[in-house]
Structure 1
Amino acid sequence: MPDSKLLSCKVYLLVPKKQDKLHAFLQKNLDLDCICPSKSPMASLVFFIKKKESLL
């Protein structure tokens, strides 16, 4: 869309434990070529869902 504008919004900070889990997940999936790096200025939210075993 040629007339669209990028929106600026706050970044959601993660506690160190969740940040480490996210980094490990992303690195694993990058290594498996399930995801690829992007240079886009856009981003998406990440949601953590607790499992029945209380793990992330």
Structure 2
Amino acid sequence: MTKLELFILRRSKNIKLREIADYLHCSVSLISRFENGKRHMNDERVKKYKDFIINY
């Protein structure tokens, strides 16, 4: 899945940035910047991000 597809899926499931940030132990701004292409996350965190959204 692309970053855009994950963003759309997150929005369709009404998952808040705060929920993902709490799960990943990071800031809301990091998740927001990642989704907007302004920041990168390490591979492990990206995998957890994807798993959280897909399995929510």
TM-score if structure 2 supplies the norm length?
A: 0.32
TM-score if structure 1 supplies the norm length?
A: 0.32
Q: Which has the higher contact order (CA 8 A, sep 6+)?
A: 2
Q: Which has the higher helix share?
A: 2
Q: Which structure's CA Rg is the greater one?
A: 1
